[in-house]
Amino acid sequence: MGGVPAPLAIALLVCLAIVQPVSAAPVTFRDGVASGDITKHSAVLWTRSTGAGRVTVEVASDRRFADVVESGAANARATRAFTVEIEARSLRPGESYYYRFFGPGGTHSPVGVFETPPAAEENLRFVYSGDSDGTVTPEGTANYRDEIAAVSRTMRREAADVFVYLGDTIYSDSGLAAPTKAALLGEYRAKYREVRTIQAFRRLLASASLVTQWDDHEVRNDYAGNPGTAPFAPAGVTPEEVVAGQQAFREYSPIEVGPGGRTYRRLKWGPDLEFFVLDERSYRSTPLPALQACFQAETGQPDVAPTLPQPVRSSFSNGTGLAYLSSPPPAGCKEAIDDSSRTMLGPEQEGWLKAGLQTSKATFKVIVNEVPIQELYANPYDRWEGYAAERRELLTFIRDGGITGVLFATTDTHATIANPACVTTLGSDGTYACDPDTAPWEVVAGPMGTKHFSDEVNEVVPGAAPLVEGFIQSFLHSPCALIDEPAAYALVKLNANQDTMRIVPKRPGPGRGTALCAPIVIQG
């Protein structure tokens, strides 16, 4: 298969295309290496060469490669931007493996390392974050690359088994430098290479296996839809953009792609933990009906808090630009948000998730979740709150089904916010109506490096950031709500003996960083 000797259990994941001429010129691997979607017996190994030619891989049980357990080869082709994925399939559970790639002329890549999930109960450490705008500004300053480097260095020092790299892995439409959007396949690919010019980020990718998924900026901010499945949003997003953006993500990510290009999937880590990786962009309904129904003539924008109980709305109406909150949202607004025909996941993925949660034997179920599912009430349209009926249905299913040990591991909001994801958080009178003992927890973490939530809030309503943070802390009873951290991540520690999972939001710094708040502890 693909030129690999038959006795070796290697599967080559390369695009079927016209074979490119094999070059004998030396190539380099300046984008580094990565591994992903690890199982007890397999791993997807990734690299990118600087030119066409035959690329070989070695997988060893030791750092010096004295004990090579697998090897194989594939052709790096221009049709795939010279990226190569090779799947090792004869690994042993609970073992550490080292891997490296060789190109024509004998040049070799950096060495990567990963660990396979155990067969028996075992402790686990994983980290997660996302939202990494690696754009290089023309003058080389006022960008987010230092923040990405700082988070990457600190997460690597956590010595985690897995790095969950969740959403907005590039900013195709970054406003930091021209062009302002990447509409062509080559421009999307260039954005991935741009992030990988950060040395600390490349080292992080080589240090632990990846669980990764796209969000919106892999194509365009707040996009919704997939060719053949849904209309597109926002205005101007084309099928060509979506296809190119998703293709580039797959090329630069070591993942197992399912039938029809499907990227939602389950990944087990021993008997104690299972990841449910969602795709919340491809199958969702567009937010346009809700945005139109909630449009406020006074501001020329949609209502910033349409689902907030009226007594609380009124209490914020004296803020600058918020006078309209003294009245209910426009007629039909809340009905549009609660329309049961609108979906975040699509019926097939929703059924898959429910069945998986219900039948999973893992003590802990980590839902890798692009956009927050807890109720934050401010500007809800792109989050789960903007798809209220499906949100209520999923959380009711988890609560009433007695499904325990669930964590929504989330990014996107560019803030650190921990809360139980209750079906109803505030009652109609504005009082707290959430029972945290019956709801799964959500911990929003990040960003690795982009504009933080405080700045985004102030852009919509100048000076409102302190009000929003105070509201989350007081009205929503959040034990951890920080919306102006320039860079952050979360460390998750699973203790198999105690059946506990501790989530510690952190900021980067010396050693293993600094905790931003007390750990959130989930009991299995």
What confidence tens digit (pLDDT) does each residue in 482-510 have? 999 999 999 999 999 999 999 999 999 99
The pLDDT of residue 385 is: 97
Q: What is the mean pLDDT of residues 342-369?
A: 97
How far, in Å, CA of 482 to CA of 489, rounded?
A: 12
Looking at the predicted structure, is the pLDDT value of residue 37 above 90?
Answer: yes
Fold of the CATH domain 10-115? Immunoglobulin-like (2.60.40)
- List pLDDT tens digits, range 96-120: 999 999 998 889 999 999 999 999 9
What predicted TM-score, i.e. pTM, was given to this entire model? 0.93
Confidence grade of residue 20 (pLDDT, cut at 50, 70, 90): very low
User: Could you tell me the two tokens for 210?
Assistant: 């990846």
Coil, strand or helix: which one is 393? helix
Looking at the predicted structure, is the pLDDT value of residue 390 above 80?
Answer: yes
Coil, strand or helix: which one is 468? helix
Looking at the predicted structure, is the pLDDT value of residue 154 above 70?
Answer: yes
- For residue 426, the 8-state DSSP code is B
β-pair partners for 366: 275, 407
Query: Which positions ≥6 away from 351 have C-beta within 8 Å?
Result: none
CA–chain centroid gap for 152, Å, is 15
Looking at the predicted structure, is the pLDDT value of residue 328 above 80?
Answer: yes
The pLDDT of residue 26 is: 80
β-pair partners for 295: 302
Question: Could you tell me which of 271, 274, 255 has the C-alpha nearest to residue 263?
Answer: 255
Contact yes or no for 254/198 (Cβ under 8 A): no
Q: What is the mean pLDDT of residues 397-405?
A: 97
- List pLDDT tens digits, range 260-277: 889 999 999 999 999 999
User: Of 254-263, 315-324, 325-334, 403-412, which gets the smallest average pLDDT?
Assistant: 315-324
How far is the CA of 317 from the CAs of 322, 340, 464, in angstroms?
5, 30, 12
Q: What is the mean pLDDT of residues 160-187?
A: 86
Q: What is the mean pLDDT of residues 418-437?
A: 96
Axis crossing angle, helix 453-460 with helix 465-474, rounded to the nearest 10: 120
Coil, strand or helix: which one is 258? coil
Domain with CATH 3.60.21.70 in the chain: 124-523
The pLDDT of residue 297 is: 86
Confidence grade of residue 179 (pLDDT, cut at 50, 70, 90): low
Angle CA 452–454–457, to nearest 5: 115
Looking at the predicted structure, is the pLDDT value of residue 85 above 90?
Answer: yes
Q: What H or E segment, with its residue span, contains residue 358? A: helix 347-359
> Options 3.20.20.70, 3.40.190.150, 3.60.21.70, 3.30.1370.30; which CATH number does 124-523 get?
3.60.21.70
User: Could you tell me the two tokens for 113?
Assistant: 């390392």
- List pLDDT tens digits, range 120-133: 999 999 999 999 99
How far, in Å, CA of 22 to CA of 53, rounded?
A: 4
Average pLDDT of the chain?
A: 91
Q: What is the mean pLDDT of residues 319-332?
A: 91
Count of other CB atoms within 10 angstroms of residue 462: 11
Coil, strand or helix: which one is 483? coil
Domain with CATH 2.60.40.380 in the chain: 10-115
β-pair partners for 481: 417
Count of other CB atoms within 10 angstroms of residue 345: 22
Looking at the predicted structure, is the pLDDT value of residue 183 above 70?
Answer: no
Higher pLDDT, 156 or 183: 156
How far, in Å, CA of 465 to CA of 456, rounded?
A: 8
Helices (H), 252-332: 288-293, 310-315
Question: Could you tell me which of 58, 82, 84 has the C-alpha nearest to residue 2?
Answer: 84
Q: What is the mean pLDDT of residues 414-420?
A: 97
How far is the CA of 416 from the CAs of 188, 221, 443, 448, 519, in angstroms?
28, 20, 7, 12, 12
- List pLDDT tens digits, range 441-457: 999 999 999 999 999 99
The pLDDT of residue 17 is: 33
Confidence grade of residue 403 (pLDDT, cut at 50, 70, 90): very high
Sequence letter at residue 107: T
Q: 254: cis peptide before it, omega within 30°?
A: no
Q: What is the mean pLDDT of residues 354-378?
A: 97
Query: Which positions ≥6 away from 435 have C-beta within 8 Å?
Result: 422
The pLDDT of residue 23 is: 44
